[in-house]
């Protein structure tokens, strides 16, 4: 796009799976997108490699030790900020046009909220931020003129299936319901499999997508679909009863909008996150994602089925949480994060992830949530509850 000022991108969560896919899309569009800032966390080596290649003006790292290691390993002097405050600074930076919110989990909430309060265009991958603070986030988006552009493939598909002038948070005119498609995860076709014996390596081996560890486990428990259901309630201003989840093992149809007149509109594409990322980064312009074209003639079938709610209770738990209260969703998310981490470290069985979350939801005391501090306090409370189990 010659003659157009390039979009200056703040990439938060730049060393993860979405971070990588984002950089690949940006590499395919060097004239229209520049990397202004980048954040990493534990994988300092991965961050150094990306900083060397992309030379962002600003970098966020976990702490002073990472800052020293980074500066010693590169041959220029970016502005390096540290800790959670550094992420908030990069999110609200007046020199960034668009913030990619790709930090995993609750850790992404303060920076995503800061981007909303700074009125940014936000390419949102960090679904946990909306799960924890949906109302506050949508209020901030509205009050500060921010724009949410969903990266999560299902939500991006719904966004693309809505009228061209649709802005996230508005009601959808003529809607009957939204359909979220769900691959079913790695254990979908193994009804005989004892889920108490599943190992982290088996749970992380997703049949269709290559993703970070936490979301891979969430996909195996179907908690990912539960988090996505809550995410969709806020992004598209619908009740959870307006959303159906349908199994679609091929993951070609990425979700659908069903209108009152009986029309279904959907987006199809390969299972490669560069497609929704390219859509969110360049919206409303269409750019190359670098993804190979999909040959429909090579697809033998697209199938649909009901999810198995008995084997995978997480989806029902998420539905119950979003119906109950914001505090329930915060607890659902926090306890799930703790349980997934314990599972990945071999301290918890796979089937115990959902049972811990179910137990947690029974212990939540309903009390209103009216500020970001209240969200973070409730998140902390849930994690302490989990630690004391």
User: Which of residues 152, 218, 272, 337 is near Mg ion by CB under 5 A?
Assistant: 152
Residue pointed to by tokens 């659908």: 256
Sign, CA torsion 177/183/185/187: positive
Query: CB under 5 A: which stretch of 63-71, 137-145, 146-154, 186-194 binds Mg ion?
Result: 146-154
Sheet holding 243-247, edge to edge: 243-247, 175-182, 253-259, 264-268
Neighbours of 379 (CB within 10 A): 22
Task: State the nearest-atom distance from the C-beta of 274 to ligand NAD, in Å.
Answer: 10
Asked if 209 touches ligand NAD (CB under 6 A), the answer is: yes
Task: State the nearest-atom distance from the C-beta of 339 to ligand NAD, in Å.
Answer: 16
Query: CB under 6 A: which stretch of 13-21, 234-242, 309-317, 321-329 binds ligand NAD?
Result: 13-21
Residue number, nearest CB to Mg ion: 152
User: Which of residues 16, 185, 269, 313 is near ligand NAD by CB under 6 A?
Assistant: 16
Residue pointed to by tokens 């936000």: 122
Q: How many residues bind Mg ion (CB under 5 A)?
A: 3
Complex with ligand NAD: residue 215 or 354, whichever CB lies closer: 215
Query: CB under 5 A: which stretch of 129-137, 151-159, 252-260, 341-349 binds Mg ion?
Result: 151-159
Asked if 15 touches ligand NAD (CB under 6 A), the answer is: yes
Q: d(Cα 202, Cα 218) in Å, to the nearest integer?
A: 13
Complex with Mg ion: residue 17 or 153, whichever CB lies closer: 153
Complex with ligand NAD: residue 63 or 377, whichever CB lies closer: 63
Site string for ligand NAD, 128-157 (x = CB under 6 A): x-----------------------x-----
Q: Which two tokens stand for residue 78?
A: 């970016």
Query: CB under 6 A: which stretch of 102-110, 245-253, 298-306, 352-360 binds ligand NAD?
Result: 102-110
255 is in an annotated binding site: no
Which residues, 6+ apart, have CB-to-CB distance to 174 below 8 Å?
Answer: 259, 260, 261
Q: Which of 43, 242, 267, 52 is nearest to 155 (CA)?
A: 267
Structure letter (DSSP) for residue 87: H
Judge contact between 236 and 158, C-beta under 8 A: yes
| CA distances (Å), origin 294, targets 152, 252, 268, 275, 341 | 19, 9, 9, 11, 35
Neighbours of 273 (CB within 10 A): 26
Judge contact between 136 and 117, C-beta under 8 A: no
Residue 18 binding partner per list Mg ion, ligand NAD, none, with a CB distance cut-off of 5 to 8 Å that depends on partner kind: ligand NAD
Neighbours of 365 (CB within 10 A): 9
Asked if 271 touches ligand NAD (CB under 6 A), the answer is: no
Query: CB under 5 A: which stretch of 114-122, 148-156, 306-314, 357-365 binds Mg ion?
Result: 148-156
Contacting positions for ligand NAD (CB under 6 A): 13-19, 40-41, 102-104, 107, 125-128, 152, 209, 211-212, 214-215, 273
Contacting positions for Mg ion (CB under 5 A): 152-154
Query: Could you tell me which residues are annotated as the binding site for NADPH?
Result: 15-18, 42, 126, 128, 212
């Amino acid at each position: 796009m010659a003659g157009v000022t390039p979009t200056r991108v703040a990439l938060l969560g730049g060393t993860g799976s979405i971070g990588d896919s984002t950089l690949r899309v940006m590499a395919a569009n060097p004239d229209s997108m520049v990397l202004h800032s980048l954040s990493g966390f534990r994988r300092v080596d991965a961050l150094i490699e990306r900083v060397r290649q992309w030379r962002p003006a600003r970098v966020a790292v976990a702490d002073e030790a990472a800052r020293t290691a980074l500066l010693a390993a590169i041959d220029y002097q970016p502005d390096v900020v540290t800790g959670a405050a550094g992420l908030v600074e990069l999110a609200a930076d007046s020199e960034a046009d668009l913030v990619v919110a790709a930090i995993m989990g609750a850790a992404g909430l303060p920076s995503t909220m800061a981007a909303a309060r700074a009125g940014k265009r936000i390419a949102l991958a960090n679904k946990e931020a909306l799960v924890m603070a949906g109302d506050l986030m949508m209020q901030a988006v509205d009050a500060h003129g921010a724009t949410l552009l969903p990266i999560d493939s299902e939500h991006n598909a719904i966004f693309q299936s809505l009228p061209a002038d649709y802005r996230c948070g508005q009601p959808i005119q003529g809607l009957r319901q939204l359909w979220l498609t769900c691959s079913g995860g790695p254990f979908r076709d193994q009804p005989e499999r004892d889920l108490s014996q599943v190992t982290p390596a088996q749970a992380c081996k997703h049949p269709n997508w290559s993703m970070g560890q936490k979301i891979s486990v969430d996909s195996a428990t179907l908690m990912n679909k539960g988090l996505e259901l809550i995410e969709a309630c806020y992004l598209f201003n619908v009740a959870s009863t307006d959303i159906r989840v349908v199994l679609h093992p091929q993951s070609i149809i990425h979700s659908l909008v069903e209108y009152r007149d009986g029309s279904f509109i959907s987006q199809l594409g390969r299972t490669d996150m560069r497609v929704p990322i390219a859509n969110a980064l360049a919206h409303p312009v269409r750019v190359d994602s670098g993804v190979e074209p999909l040959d429909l003639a090579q697809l033998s079938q697209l199938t649909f089925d009901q999810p198995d709610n008995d084997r995978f209770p997480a989806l029902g738990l998420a539905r119950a949480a979003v119906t109950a209260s914001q505090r329930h969703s915060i607890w659902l998310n926090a306890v799930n994060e703790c349980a997934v981490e314990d599972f990945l470290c071999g301290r918890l069985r796979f089937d115990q992830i959902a049972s811990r979350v179910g137990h947690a939801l029974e212990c939540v005391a309903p009390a209103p949530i009216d500020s970001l501090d209240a969200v973070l306090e409730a998140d902390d409370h849930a994690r302490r509850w989990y630690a004391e189990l």
